[in-house]
Structure 1
Amino acid sequence: MERDPGGEKGHQVPGTGPAGRIPALQRLRRHRVELVDELPERVDWILDRALQMDLITKDDYEDVKYVPGPRRRVRALLDIIDCRGDLVADAFSSLFSKSGGVADTDTGSGEYGTLVKKHRQVLLRRNQSMMPYNSRVGEKVHLLDLFTDLLLVSGHHSTELKRHQLLSLGQQRIQLQEGCQLAILPQQLFQQSPSRVLVTGVAGIGKTALLQKLVYDWAGGQCLHNFQVVLQLAFRDLNLIDQPVSFRNLVLRKNGHLAKLLDLVFEEAQKLLVVLDGFDEFKFCSIVDGDRYVMDPDEEAQLPDIINSLLRGELLPEASVLLTTRPTAVTYIPVETIDRFVVITGFSEKEIRNFFLKYYRDEGLSSRVFQLVKENHFLFTLCFIPAFCYIVCSVLKEQGATGHNQPKTMTDIYSRYLTMLLKHHARPQPQGPGALTQMLHNLCRLAYSKLLQHDTLFCQHDLQAHHIQLNTFVNSFLDRTCVQEPDCVEGIFSFAHFTIQEFLAALHYVLEPQPFPDVLDMDTCRMDLGYLDIFHRFVSGLLSERNQSLLSKHLELGNVTKLEDYHMWLLEGITESCEKGSSILNLLHCLFEQQNHSLAERITPRSLHIHVGDNVLCPVDLSVLQYFLDLQIGDVVELDVTATNISGEGLRTLQPYLQQCESLWCGENKLDSEAISCLCELLKSRNYRLKLLGLGWTDIGNEELMELCSALKENRTLQELWIEGCSADYDGILDFASVSSTNSTLKKVVFIGHSLEEGDTERLKQELSPAALGLIVAGFCDDRQLWQGWCDWVRQRCYTCTDDKLLHFLHKIFPCHRPSSRLWWVQQWCTALQELLQERIDRCRLAETRRKLQKLQGTISLHC
């Protein structure tokens, strides 16, 4: 049984001596009266932990849970433990001694200890209930009844590689959940102090639930023992503040009980953890990275400056900070201040099983539903994301978990969830027929307007402005919390989850004849911004015929006139992206949501260049890509999966389609042995039509080179092979060149940016045969045809990159592996890059990123 290190010391049952002198059961009986006085405020947490540790059974738990009154619950629990024997009693004593509060004995007494104890009790109460997207007002679920462990993995300290890991669920999650050598436990987040930890994950992945569980366990004495005080703040609450404020008053808004404690907390900031949840929901997130610092907790300043100062260690430099965000807002965070990057990758298959069991509370039923979902690839991959897993369970429970007419897309699931709520509230409304539909319209209008303002929190006057009255139906979508203002307590509202707001906003766009502003006509809201991606997918799914038919049974939809216009917008976007080779992934998601084969047949681009690079491809993304490739629009001129974190498993999934490609770009991925094997099999395939293969910056070494070389002996189509930035040495490249020169079709193998030592390039020229020498390009040269194409490719990558990605990409070339300015094409190329960088500098709002762009521009100017 896990014991708290030193738990008996200074935290024993009242009146006992050192541990072990008196049998535990006897101690409990002797001090029963004192325990009944001391434990009521903590009894719910103790009861939860006792169940987790198997000190009591589920039946015991339910018997005690529903006993009225906390003192009576303590007595009932003590009665049960009294029948379990001395070993259980001893473990039970250790358990409730942990819940007592502070980890350090010097703060366990006096006024300070009393206030810390009260703060822990407040945080226990605030975090003990989860708020699922419940369909009945007032329905709550205890945190431990539904919370299921999440898989957390360490990110990379390189900003760009970190961003790749953060952008989605991650194709490597299967290897991670099986090996788990990179997995970390929540209590291991802070290994040094002070520390700034950034936790990221996609929508619905469980960021808020993780923090809730972490704070709940700290308040119960279960983890983070090096922190005496935890301050829990949510950006959706902070959005209400638009006037200068001090950090002290910021904390006291919802923690007035800490008024007498804060001076000491600030003085001993090394024992303080500040938890900031939902940076992507912060309406000022884009201006946080400023140059004004706040150093005094009592200094009034604008909220973005306070957050920036906390992250940079200018304010409370010895305190630790835990920050969560969606990946779309990472670019606004001063990432150079972050000590540790952590990615939530959601559930594993085992955890999905556990969630189903907790949700259905019936092993047989949960197993049947799990098997049903597992057979539906798209539903199953959605369930790796906790929020979607909950809604999938809700929908399948409502429709009886049959295998008929299952939802096929994310919008299908949310639409059925909405109709489920509508049916629950379909009784006659006092306002008359159509009142329920009007309430939903008003909610959708609120969701849309707030989404475009990048706002997730609103007040009573916002509800009034949209004619929304609180009732059981409205409360099914909204959460309400209270904020202490100087002269009153104000109720604030948010949608139960951001994806709920995005779905309702999309529904407003579909239902409103002339939504203002019209997102599809706004250049500033194109797909490349990211934060409206899920909104766009919902719009597409809601405009599909099947969801129109479903919702029309429960809503007075009228004539939805947008469908054909939307189809034209989507077709034009996909066609243009295919022909230009620009990013297409979210457009493919929108097409998938349509599930319209006749629409797909209208996609007729002149050429097919599919670029899904710079997005970490999760299982759902791969399903969407497969769906598009199955349409057989034509031969794929180019497939770009650069920087997608694709693994061998992902390449195996795409293998049938890779044989249709003329050019395949797999660069900037850490290709494992299975990935190399998969590529070698493709090279050996007789039906393979590949002419160009890009494997730049994939850490390929000597061994992988020889595998590729062996496969090339059987290949008769490949003409160019790009392996920039490889880790192969002189001997590896020499052997590869000698063998690959026997291939009759291969014309160029480019090794620029390699790990050759000084002078190795000249040695290669002397060692290689004339045939091999004509094949291998180990450095920049004046081959006009070769480098013109390379320059065009670099410029295209730069135009489609984010600022961070552009910096990372160009730093691969400058200054370490820069071409000589004496070459004819270098000056023209560098001038074009300088102009591109100047455009980025002019519109960059982040001071730190702008400085990096200017520095890179200066480096490139040396070659012009």
Structure 2
Amino acid sequence: MESDRPKKEKKKDGNHQPSKKRRRQQRADSPGPSCVSMERSKKKKKNDGNHQPSKKRRQKRSKVTSAQSDQQHQPELEMNQEELADTLWGGSSAVECQHKIKSNLQKKFRCVFEGIAKAGQPTGLNEFYTEIFITERGSGEVNKEHEVRLIETASRKPAKEETPIRCEDIFKPLLGKDKPMKKPRTIMTTGVAGIGKTILTHKFTLDWAEGKANHDIHFTFLLTFRELNLLKGEEFSLVELLHHFFNETKEAGVCIFDQFQVVFILDGLDECRLPLDFQNNPIWTDVKEPSSLDVLLTNLIRGDLLPSARIWITTRPAAANQIPAECVDRVTEVKGFTDPQKEEYFRKRFRDETLANTIISHVKKSRSLHIMCHIPVFCWITAKVLEDFFKTSQIGEKEPNVMTQINIHFLRVQSIQGDRKYYGRAETDPDWSSESREIIVSLGKLAFNQLEKGNLIFYEEDLAECHIDIRAASVYSGVFTQIFKEGCGMYQARVFCFVHLSIQEFLAALYVFLFFIDTGINLLSEEPPTSGEDKLLLVYQSAVDKALQSENGQLDLFLRFLLGLSLETNQIVLRGLLGQTQSRSLFTKIKQGLLGQTGPSSLTNTETVSYIKEKIKGNLSPERSINLFHCLNELNDRSLLKKIEQSLTSGRLSRQYLSPAQLSALAFTLLTSDEELDVFDLKKYSASEEGLLRLLPVVIASRTSLLNDCHLSERSCEALASVLSSNSSSLKELDLSTNDLLDSGVKLLSAGLGSPHCTLETLRSVLPNGQTITPKGSISEDI
């Protein structure tokens, strides 16, 4: 069948020429060795000598060639190092090239700077690396929920229910029930920011370079979209692109790769600034013919360009749909650390066993920290904060146990370290210097501006807009990572990011808070306050409204941090930072009425709590309501939760009417409980459709949900279909018997049952006409 995509035109004189800049560069370069050739004439000349390949090897190569013609997109190339040399005349250059690449990759990845780039003491990757939990997913379906919520959901799903995949086995054959084993060509690995995707690619590459794994692979080319973005607008052939990033291939004259087993690792799809126009880009098959980077990448991924190559793409979940599903053979997901792996990480991090035990114990006691430590980068942040706290805290000082407190202390630790290292400040000096405040405010402005745009990666022009001095920013290297292409080449541009999305969101919240204290201006609302209104209260109310309006909860964590900053206990740690605000502390300004007609900040917080409770009573999604309870936790208000907990203990819940707010409080209580949610029986709480809809996240988290005889209707079936098709669902058994679902409701359920994400094994549901629903989604007669 003819493809609908435009085919490439035959190159004419003057077409597809490299830019003037690149032509000048090519003329300036001294001529390197000519490309290793596969021409028969060169083979014959070599064969006239004494270097005759064995008959067995010639037959093996013949089989490989045959396999390529029979199955263009799935070649099975199995050559050992000796055969690699025999395959290409001049092959010694290819082997030498491979050795140089491996040697350079070992130098590059053997040591890492944990959490940050080029700061502190390097750590051996093999010594530091803790196995990360990877599992297979059914599809690359996009999940645009806030990534912290994805982590919270994943933390409730037992690891034992999923089959782990080891890093080195990522390209092992797929085992299908109704199909033979098939080696995946293109793999996509998803995972939230900071979960360990990049470290995973480094570990895979290092293991290959050290000869520990994947011996069938001849070349591994790791490219990041951060680096590729810098070449946007340039034209390259695939060979030129590899020569650009891997000079060893250029020096060896290796230009033909289809006889090798090559792996391309494309790290950080979510950071890609190229259009990746799979629909309209022309088909491109010539590895030596220049085109735009976008055309090269789309053709490489879909298999038109160098079909013998294997491709591994990593991305955050929200960007997964940039690659068409038909171009991906396997989707895996990085889940981060399991509970035992968290403990292993801290024990590797601290050789002082007493300190390690203290930190592990503290993390286990704080549910929010324990959940966030699924993310390796957050483990690193937590380790730095708690190490400093337990070594320097005063008697009676309360340990940081929620994310806002961890981030405040993290910023403080980085500020002190930066001031001592670069400004020579003594241990007795204040925690916050004027220099540290200046850079923190600038970084906060950058964080806020880019958060509003949805950007995680920034360039030098973005920093310039916020008047950030790059050298000064690098002082706080634990907060702000500098990443740039090293070595010779045409590009030395720098790329920047915060070490984790949560740090960016925290700094954005801190900036909104500091900007208001400095100027009295609410950055979250364009409407000026009326006379006599509590201006600080309006900031918090605007943040609540903005978070509820944001798509998929993208400002949920920002809201938690901003509300957390309102507590005086947290402001005490920031006092040196806040106290430099126009030479007056926050508390002085509040008392003098400079922030509006208000009393102490505790009164403002009480009104903020009331505002949030009113919102919970409204018609919110269960997920939005649950985040508002997280916000109440930040404000130390547990009044709604205490009432529910008392009713749970007494067993009175099933006998009393629960309001929407109480149902949301119940959902939050069940989801944040330390007890594993195995069986959820709706009748114990609220045998009603309203009860089910408010408690839907609990159904997703449970293994067995008993919803029989709960007065459910077609409306419930639509909601349950979304549960069944959710890739976050843990549901194995569902009882819907003795409910009037109607045929229309059953059809909705069947759609959910047919989803590739459906994990249901047992479904009990007897319809009025004597039919039952099977787990496969079909309707059959009940005999």
Match for residue 400 of structure 2?
Answer: 407
- Determine if contact 1:166/1:201 at 8 Å carries over to the other structure: no
Structure 1 residue 502: Cα displacement: 3.8
Alpha-carbon contact 1:442-1:467 (below 8 Å) kept: yes
Distance in 1, matches of 2:413 and 2:424, equals 21
Q: 1: distance between equivalents of 2:716 and 2:325? A: 34
Within 5 A, what are the aligned runs for 1:4-153?
Answer: 103-107=80-84, 110-133=92-115, 137-153=119-135
Q: Does 1:592 align with 2:620?
A: no
1:658 positional shift? 4.1
CA contact (8 A) 2:622 2:696 kept: no
Who is 1:280 aligned against?
Answer: 270
Residue 317 of structure 1 aligns with an amino acid whose one-letter code is P
Q: Summarize deviations over 1:633-661 as a string: whole Å, max 9, x none.
A: 744399999xx9x9994465897994486
Matched, 1:291 2:280: yes
Whether the 8 Å contact between 2:137 and 2:331 is mirrored in structure 1 is: yes
Task: Measure, in 2, the Cα distance between the counterparts of 1:158 and 1:329.
Answer: 10
Provide closer, same or farther for how the CA distance between residues 167 and 336 of structure 1 changes in structure 2, counting only shifts above 3 A.
farther
Q: Residue 410 and residue 252 in structure 1: after superposition, are their counterparts in 2 closer, same or farther (change >3 A)? A: farther
Instruction: Output the amino acid matched with 1:223.
Output: A
After superposition, residues 749-764 of structure 1 pair within 5 angstroms as 755-757=778-780, 760=781
Please state how far the C-alpha of 1:532 moved relative to its aligned partner.
5.2
Match of 2:245 among 224, 233, 254: 254
Whether the 8 Å contact between 1:166 and 1:343 is mirrored in structure 2 is: no
The aligned residue for residue 679 of structure 1 is: 706
Contact 1:660–1:689 under 8 Å retained in 2:
yes
- For residues 573 and 391 of structure 1, the distance between their equivalents in structure 2, rounded to whole angstroms, comes to 30
**Aligned counterparts, 1:112-261, within 5 A:** 112-133=94-115, 137-157=119-139, 159=141, 168-169=150-151, 171=153, 177-178=159-160, 182-190=163-171, 191=173, 192-193=182-183, 195-246=185-236, 247-260=238-251
Deviates more, 1:291-300 or 1:433-442: 291-300
What is the alpha-carbon distance in structure 2 between the residues aligned to residue 485 and residue 184 of structure 1? Answer: 37
Amino acid aligned to 1:293: P
- Could you tell me which amino acid in structure 2 is paired with residue 663 of structure 1? G
Alignment of 1:292-691 (within 5 A): 292-293=281-282, 295=284, 296-400=286-390, 405-427=398-420, 429=423, 434-459=434-459, 463=463, 466-471=467-472, 473-476=475-478, 477-482=480-485, 489-513=492-516, 526-529=549-552, 534-554=557-577, 556=579, 558=581, 559=586, 579-582=618-621, 584-585=623-624, 588-589=626-627, 592-593=630-631, 595=633, 634-636=661-663, 649-650=676-677, 658-659=685-686, 662-665=690-693, 675-676=703-704, 679=706
Amino acid at match of 1:419: R
User: What is the distance in 2 between the residues matched to 1:135 and 1:581?
Assistant: 42
**TM-superposition CA deviations, 1:163-217 (whole Å, max 9, x none):** 999982475667653365x111112211255611111112221111111111111
Number of matched residues?
Answer: 599
Q: How does 1:784-803 map to 2 (within 5 A)?
A: none
1:495 and 1:501 in contact (8 A); partners too: yes
**Structure 1: which 5+ residue stretches go unaligned?**
1-101, 604-630, 713-717, 742-747, 768-864
Mean CA deviation greater in 517-526 or 333-342: 517-526
Structure 1 position 458, deviation (Å): 4.5
| One-letter amino acid matched to 1:547 | N
Moved more, 368-377 or 384-393: 368-377
Deviation per CA, 1:567-605: give whole Å up to 9, x if none.
9999878856753344644x64365246355878799xx
SS of 1:392 mapped into structure 2: helix
* TM-aligned CA distance change 1:250 to 1:510, over 3 Å: farther
SS at match of 1:369: helix
Distance 2:202 2:398 in 1: 36
Q: What whole-Å deviation, never above 9, does each CA across 1:20-46 have from its counterpart, x for those lacking one? A: xxxxxxxxxxxxxxxxxxxxxxxxxxx
Query: For the residues of structure 2 that align with 1:209 and 1:263, how far apart are their CA atoms?
Result: 28
Q: How does 1:700-715 map to 2 (within 5 A)?
A: none
SS in 2 for 1:276: strand
Shift of 1:310: 2.6
Distance 1:319 1:537, change over 3 A: farther
Q: Once the 2 structures are TM-superposed, how far is the Cα of residue 240 of structure 1 from its aligned partner?
A: 2.5
Q: TM-score, normalised to structure 2's length? A: 0.63
1:416 maps to a residue whose letter is H
**Change beyond 3 A, Cα 1:468–1:567:** farther
How many percent identity over aligned positions? 22
Which structure has more relative contact order (CA 8 Å, sep 6+)? It is: 2
Name stretches of at least 5 consecutive residues in structure 2 with no aligned partner.
1-78, 86-90, 174-181, 426-431, 527-541, 590-594, 642-657, 755-761
SS in 1 for 2:484: strand
The change in CA–CA distance for 1:276 and 1:600 in structure 2 (over 3 A counts) is same
Please give the alpha-carbon distance, in whole angstroms, between the structure 2 residues aligned to 1:594 and 1:178: 33
Match of 1:197, SS?
A: strand
Alignment partner, residue 40 of structure 1: none
Question: In structure 2, do the counterparts of structure 1 residues 178 and 664 end up closer, same or farther at CA, with 3 Å as the change threshold?
Answer: same
Structure 1 residues 409, 166: closer, same or farther in 2, change over 3 A? closer
The alpha carbon displacement at 1:228 in A equals: 0.9
Matching residue of 1:860? none
CA deviation string 1:614-646 (max 9, x = no partner): xxxxxxxxxxxxxxxxx98744399999xx9x9
CA distance in 1, matches of 2:312, 2:554: 22
Q: CA RMSD in A?
A: 5.2
In structure 1, distance between residues paired with 2:390 and 2:273: 41
